[in-house]
Amino acid sequence: MPLGTTIHNIEFKHGKGGQLARAAGARAKLIAKEGKSATLRLPSGEVRLISQNCLATVGQVGNVGVTRKSLGRAGSKCWLGKRPVVRGAAMNPVDHPHGGVKEKLQLEEKKPATPWGYPALGRKSRKRRKYSDSLILRRRK
């Protein structure tokens, strides 16, 4: 493929099947090729190396305007199988770490947490010494 080509449905490992840039409207760009590896700019903004043997599809994924579509009412969302989102502060303490406090501004005392008690909003969850760290040239924004 020539440099600057827009691609999607990219394999990590040859023969494993496409895993990168598969969402609606997603695309990656081929920046450089050197030796057995190619440099890609992924939809997240990350720049990483991929083997040149890996397969990909030329072009951008369709259905670009899926996020601009107005559902109109709550029932339309239910038909798509999307469950209602409930704030943790509206729950009981048994259901969520934020639950059970009567005042609205409760997160001044507590750290934001997931329903399972893990830190949320700003904590990095990636492993510090992951095997693929050497393949990432620039982290996502």
Tens of pLDDT, residues 92-132 = 999 998 888 877 655 666 788 999 999 998 888 899 999 99
DSSP-based three-state secondary structure for 55: coil
pLDDT band at 89 (very low <50, low <70, confident <90, very high): confident
Task: Tell me the C-alpha distance between 38 and 2, whole Å.
Answer: 11
Q: Is the CB of residue 25 less than 8 Å from the CB of residue 60?
A: yes
- The domain ranges of the chain are 6-64, 70-108
Q: What is the pLDDT of residue 106?
A: 59
Of 18-22, 57-61, 108-112, least confident by mean pLDDT is 108-112
Average pLDDT value over all residues in the chain: 92
Token code pair at residue 15: 């023969």
Contact 115, 88 (CB under 8 A): yes
Which whole number is the average pLDDT over 18-32? 97
Answer CATH for 6-64 from 1.20.1260.10, 3.30.420.480, 3.30.2350.10, 2.30.30.30: 2.30.30.30
Mean pLDDT of the region 8-34: 96
Tell me, yes or no, if the pTM score tops 0.85.
no
Neighbour count for residue 36 (Cβ, 10 Å): 9
